[in-house]
Chain A
């Protein structure tokens, strides 16, 4: 057991080191969602936003939930990238020739992705706070947001890692990534409320787990506990199923690739 801890900590530390040395990439990862989506998009559409439709005066407070979940989405789907590079340059082979638990690599990757995602969510909510967005449910609500975000991230990271282990080239990986992430965003309630969507789009959005995650986080920011609790419970139930499927698929891909 203590061996597993030693392995996981060492591997996680490596991921953190890599990120911290890629200064540009780190800056981009941390700043991009806030700068682009929250501030730019938020201010741009503030004027176009119909107060009635968005249930709030401030489009940014509507958008905050979407940006939080988009960040979880991007981090999760990119969670396998470093493993892909390790696979391609032979580092993974070196790791696999050591007497570690096979799962330690995976676990370290989860830890790292979760850590980064939590940090980003906190930064986003802080920036939003300075633009006048105060979560109605307070700090406890923020904690619930983090938990829901993490649960969504687990499944996404599993998808990403499964892909990293299965694809033939990293070109394939990034194509699939691009193919997945944009529709996930636009066919969810990240940018517009479900009620404002055409019927067909709304129907599709209902099958997108991302919608349910957003629909749980949004009332935590906009409305308060009474409105949020049923939504949060629904999201938790859906995420349980989502994660189970993703983890199962991920474990299979991993076993096929590494044995």
Chain B
């Protein structure tokens, strides 16, 4: 089929018993783009992916992948996708190459084609030297690379990556980003989830910020940041300054150039239109209400500001 839309999701909802994992989810993914689902733990990212790869039936709503319905035409969907799960779904007792050979048979590849493709993939992810070792001897990064090779084996049109760099060191993370960009160059459509703001910012062409099972906002990282407008000031006060900080927070409401401000612990997050004018006014106000400021940080809008603006709380990245 000719596809101007790679994935179309309409009003998707999934409940587990009484827990609603996702609801009112609607989005489209265009062919050839890297589409990201960015959200904190438990946001519903994996649930969404599982529905799209046909292993979890939705409670409500519809999803079409490459034009095929994920429930009614699940088999057709499975023919065009590759999947890289969030858990390291690796069999400790098989070698890397045996993983790929197994999958080659499950995708019904002819022997010769399978062998060629396996060699090519092992080269792509730099695992040639380790291909014949048992997977239980692999490092976390190597397992992840094998995972990715497995996801690419069927030569899919769309590949789904669930948190491809979770728990990896910086070096490995950059390698994986390179692979993902290489895949886009080859014309693949990529849907990935991530827990990392920087990853979403650097890698995704478009992304949906998902929190509490709902999409809060969608767009390219650049659009999202620009649309937010203004720059962000972060004032940090000493823990003893709770009351003065409250007074300052109140005082800000009357100042010009200030779009909004939020109190978060001992910090005030202030979005301002013109920092050169706003900053002196804020400092003066702080002086007036006798609030002692420890540090001031100023930056152009970042994705975490976008997240905060649309969800009302700060983004918690997983600690390594």
A positions within 8 Å CB-CB of B: 3, 6-7, 9-11, 13-14, 17-18, 21-22, 89-91, 93-100, 258-259
Interface set, chain B 77-95, CB cutoff 8 A to A: 78-79, 81, 83, 85-91, 93-94
Chain A residues, CB < 8 A from B79: 99
Which of A3, A6, A90 interacts with B86 by CB under 8 Å? A90
Chain B residues, CB < 8 A from A11: 102, 106
- Bound complex: CA of A3 vs CA of B81, how far in Å? 18
Which of B101, B108, B150 interacts with A3 by CB under 8 Å? B108
Q: List 26 A-B contacts (CB under 8 A).
A: A9-B105, A10-B102, A10-B106, A14-B98, A17-B98, A18-B93, A21-B134, A22-B93, A89-B88, A90-B87, A91-B89, A91-B91, A93-B50, A93-B83, A93-B89, A95-B106, A96-B54, A96-B55, A97-B83, A98-B103, A98-B154, A99-B75, A99-B107, A99-B108, A100-B106, A258-B55
- Bound complex: CA of A98 vs CA of B94, how far in Å? 18
| B244 on interface, CB distance cutoff 8 Å | no
Q: Please state if A98 and B78 are interface contacts (CB–CB under 8 Å).
A: yes
Chain A residues, CB < 8 A from B53: 97
Q: Please state if B93 and A10 are interface contacts (CB–CB under 8 Å).
A: no
Which of B57, B75, B86, B93 interacts with A17 by CB under 8 Å? B93
Chain B min CB distance to A259 (Å): 6
- Bound complex: CA of A10 vs CA of B57, how far in Å? 27
Q: Please state if B105 and A6 are interface contacts (CB–CB under 8 Å).
A: yes
Tell which of A10, A99, A258 has the most Cβ of chain B within 10 Å.
Answer: A99
Which of B57, B85, B154 interacts with A259 by CB under 8 Å? B57
- Nearest neighbor of B57 in chain A, beta-carbon distance: A259
Chain A min CB distance to B164 (Å): 14
Q: Top 7 closest A-B pairs, CB basis? A: A10-B105, A90-B87, A90-B89, A99-B78, A97-B83, A98-B106, A21-B93
- Bound complex: CA of A98 vs CA of B50, how far in Å? 13
- Bound complex: CA of A191 vs CA of B107, how far in Å? 48
Q: Please state if B55 and A97 are interface contacts (CB–CB under 8 Å).
A: yes
Chain A residues, CB < 8 A from B134: 21
Chain A, interface SS category:
helix
Which of A6, A14, A96 interacts with B108 by CB under 8 Å? A6
Q: Please state if A7 and B106 are interface contacts (CB–CB under 8 Å).
A: yes
Q: Please state if B78 and A97 are interface contacts (CB–CB under 8 Å).
A: yes
Chain B min CB distance to A148 (Å): 32
- Nearest neighbor of B153 in chain A, beta-carbon distance: A98
- Bound complex: CA of A259 vs CA of B55, how far in Å? 8
Chain B min CB distance to A88 (Å): 9
Chain B residues, CB < 8 A from A10: 101-102, 105-106
- Bound complex: CA of A4 vs CA of B175, how far in Å? 37
- Bound complex: CA of A111 vs CA of B275, how far in Å? 72
Interface set, chain B 44-65, CB cutoff 8 A to A: 50, 53-55, 57
Q: Please state if A14 and B85 are interface contacts (CB–CB under 8 Å).
A: no
Chain A residues, CB < 8 A from B75: 99
Chain A residues, CB < 8 A from B78: 97-99
- Bound complex: CA of A258 vs CA of B50, how far in Å? 12
Chain A residues, CB < 8 A from B102: 10-11, 13-14
- Nearest neighbor of A104 in chain B, beta-carbon distance: B106
Chain B residues, CB < 8 A from A14: 91, 94, 98, 102
- Bound complex: CA of A7 vs CA of B78, how far in Å? 15
- Nearest neighbor of B108 in chain A, beta-carbon distance: A3
Chain A min CB distance to B319 (Å): 23
- Bound complex: CA of A94 vs CA of B50, how far in Å? 11
Q: Please state if B94 and A18 are interface contacts (CB–CB under 8 Å).
A: yes
- Indicate with 1 or 0, residue by residue over B175-187, a CB within 8 angstroms of chain A CB atoms: 0000000000000
- Bound complex: CA of A98 vs CA of B78, how far in Å? 6
